[in-house]
Amino acid sequence: MQSEIAKDTVATAEKSPLELLQETKASVEAIITKLLSIKQQGTPKSENRELLTQMFLNFINLRQANRAILIEEEKLKTETELAKSPVDFTTLELHNLMYEKSHYLKATKASRDFKSMYPNIDLISEQDFFSDAPEAIKSQTLSNDSSHDLMLKRLNFELHQRKELCKLRVRLEQQKKCLIETNAERNKFLSSLPVHLKSLKKASLPVQSQLSLQNQKKLKYHNLAELLPPPLYVIYSQFMALKEAFEENIDVEVSGSLNDAQSYARQQAEQNSENLRMEIDDEDDDGKRQRKRPKKEGSDEEGLYQVNPLNVVLHVYDDEIPDSKSHKPVVLKFEYLLKLNIVCVGIEKSQDGAEKNILCNLFPEDAGLEPPHQSAKLILGNDHAFDESRTSRPYKWAQHLAGIEILPEMSPFFTDKDIQNSDTAKDFAFASDHRNVQTVLQRIRSQKKTQLTLV
């Protein structure tokens, strides 16, 4: 009996708790069934003791199976807890990665939807990147993907350029600030300069008077300019203003006899006073007394081509030569014909005919062979011929510089195409386009340069 119990105990130890529980349950049920059958049949109760012993053994097995199940449950719970920790950690990492993914997706969408202030400015091209980028940027390895690595390098180079431009901007702003301060100081000095110059001039007058330091040549020209006829005075004042305002490389002189000019000015003043007196007498006599008109001069050329005693001489130097005054300038002489009321221009000190052609070709359709206005044509006669043997000619541009307004013989605003293309309309257009003294000087220098090139 004991050997059987020992065998059952060894077999029980080899079985799993669930199998032991099921077998014990079946054994208990079989013992109870057997006890019930003995009781019902009334058989001797000698076997009951053994059955009870087996029952108790089964109860012991039940407790053992129950304990083994509880121990296994605790073991599984412990293993479950140990396995749950890495799962929770992995789940947390998954949630973090999903959050980062959503953040990157939002940032990418925001970057793609961003509208720059300068939408037409693209990233630097690959060719410019390889040619201009420094080696420190090109030698970096930022990604395993070649295209992505190139894009990152281009972006780094773009950032490098922007930083350099920001530094340049700061330097330029500082330079601008310094220049503004310098200009403010200079403007302050210039604003106070007239007062200082006035006081200096006033203080230096006695010294100049004592040492005779005044520019006698300039004073002489100014004194002579006061006796110039109005057309020549207009020319003289324009060229002097151009020289003083723009430092033009020219010299302007007034030549002629001062005594003759003064005598002519007195004659003109006496003649004007006589004419005024005669007009007053005519008005007093109620128009009965006719005004004595001066006799019309004949057609003698000496009277027609009478020249004012004074004339204006213009020396035009080349601007492109550093020491231009050491070279031969173009010397123009402006004369005023009293009878014809025109200004004539000629070139002085001309050794050959090359420089004479400068004025003839200065402006198109202005060779100076025709009187510039209708009154001169009537005085010269039917042939309207101007003396071609004279060195100076009445160019139209000279009349415009002298302020002699020439009205066209017919209105230039007629709609007739033939009249618009007439010489009168062209003269009117010429008068409106060539009043600038700078244009005349530029063309004189250009013609001079062309002549030298041809020579």
Per-residue DSSP letters for 235-297? HHHHHHHHHHHH--SEEEEEEE-HHHHHHHHHHHHHHHHHHHHHHHHHHHTTT-SPPPPPPPP
pLDDT of 233 reads: 92
Query: Pick the residue with more confidence: 211 or 429?
Result: 211
Average pLDDT over residues 107-118: 83
Residue 413 pLDDT class (50, 70, 90 cuts): low
The percent of residues above 70 in pLDDT, for the chain, comes to 77
pLDDT of 455 reads: 63
Using the Cα atoms of residue 440, residue 442, residue 448 and residue 453 in order, give the sign of their dihedral.
Answer: negative
> Mean pLDDT lowest for which of 1-10, 101-110, 155-164, 358-367?
1-10
Which tokens sit at 2? 């004991």
Which tokens sit at 99? 């959050």
DSSP annotation string for 335-377: EEETTTTEEEEEE-S-SSSTTHHHHHTSSTT--S-S-SSHHHH
Residue 2 pLDDT class (50, 70, 90 cuts): very low
pLDDT at residue 31 is higher than 90: no
Alpha-carbon gap, residue 309 to 262, rounded angstroms? 9
* Domain range list for the chain: 2-84, 190-216, 226-256+298-454
pLDDT of 175 reads: 95
Beta strands 250-256; 342-347: pairing state: unpaired
pLDDT of 295 reads: 47
Alpha-carbon gap, residue 61 to 8, rounded angstroms? 10
State the helix-helix crossing angle for 230-246 and 437-454, rounded to 10 degrees: 80
3-class state of residue 60 by DSSP: helix
pLDDT of 419 reads: 47
pLDDT of 296 reads: 45
pLDDT of 56 reads: 80
For residue 58, give every residue at least 6 positions away whose Cβ sits within 8 Å of its Cβ, in sequence order, or none: 24, 27, 28, 31
> Mean pLDDT lowest for which of 36-50, 159-173, 237-251, 391-405?
36-50
pLDDT of 282 reads: 67
Side-chain-side CA neighbours of 161 within 13 Å: the count stands at: 13
- Tell me the per-residue pLDDT of 140-192, one tens digit each, with 9 for 90 and over: 888 888 888 888 888 888 889 999 999 999 999 999 999 999 999 999 999 99
pLDDT of 389 reads: 79
pLDDT of 258 reads: 82
3-class state of residue 391 by DSSP: coil
pLDDT of 427 reads: 52
Average pLDDT over residues 103-128: 84
3-class state of residue 323 by DSSP: coil
Average pLDDT over residues 326-348: 87
Residue 298 pLDDT class (50, 70, 90 cuts): very low
Query: Pick the residue with more confidence: 168 or 379?
Result: 168
Which tokens sit at 15? 């079985």
pLDDT of 297 reads: 44
pLDDT at residue 288 is higher than 60: no
Average pLDDT over residues 109-133: 82
pLDDT of 279 reads: 76
Alpha-carbon gap, residue 339 to 376, rounded angstroms? 8
Kindly report the average pLDDT of the chain as a whole number. Answer: 79
